[in-house]
Amino acid sequence: MVSLLTSYQFYLIVIGITIAERLYELKVANRNYAESMAKGGVEFGSSHYPYMVIMHTLFLIACLVEPKLNSSLAIHPFISIVAILCIIGSQTVRWWIINTLSTQWNTRVVVVPGAKRVTSGPFRYLTHPNYTVVATELIALPMLHGAWITALTFTIANIILMKTRITIENEALRLLANE
């Protein structure tokens, strides 16, 4: 007899895939960062970067811990369906962003002298599309299994961090435009 996955088992698979994807993403980011720096790139706002890494790491841990601590989390099928669609959509857009930026993409803010600002792909529609992806994911991933405290906590933390990050990135983009 074939048994179906429980919702928690499915959730663990999605979290596992997300962790694997993040590790691969960091490999791509580090390669692109090294290439940008070799071309004379200048990094902006490096002091906030460790906080961003800590927040995203704690987020994935919280996604695993909250459902374990509260096994009575309400998991409404409609919310789960919307969450998985948002997760799939956010990953699709994330890789659209990465492919559009090509070697200019990494998880830090780096300006390479002489590089042109990218205005194609998702950047035709939004100045900072990746932050929309992150905001969506911070809600959708935990809500896939009803982890609303994680969704709320890390959405608030992300808003605080993004105020700094977007200010730094906008300044870097202004410098890029003036070269």
The string of pLDDT tens digits covering residues 50-63 is 999 999 999 999 99
- Which pLDDT belongs to residue 2? 58
- Which pLDDT belongs to residue 72? 73
Q: What is the mean pLDDT of residues 111-127?
A: 92
Highest mean pLDDT among 71-75, 164-168, 175-179: 164-168
Assigned architecture for domain 7-178? Up-down Bundle (1.20)
Q: Which has the closest alpha carbon to 48: 162, 127, 142, 151?
A: 162
Q: Which two tokens stand for residue 55?
A: 């927040």
Q: How confident is the model at residue 103 (pLDDT cuts 50, 70, 90)?
A: very high
Q: Where are the domains of the chain?
A: 7-178
Q: What is the mean pLDDT of residues 25-35?
A: 97
Given its phi and psi angles, is residue 108 left (phi above 0), alpha (psi -120 to 50 degrees) or beta?
beta
Q: What is the mean pLDDT of residues 25-33?
A: 97
Q: What is the mean pLDDT of residues 81-108?
A: 96
Confidence check: pLDDT of 3 > 70: no
H or E segment to which residue 42 belongs? strand 42-44
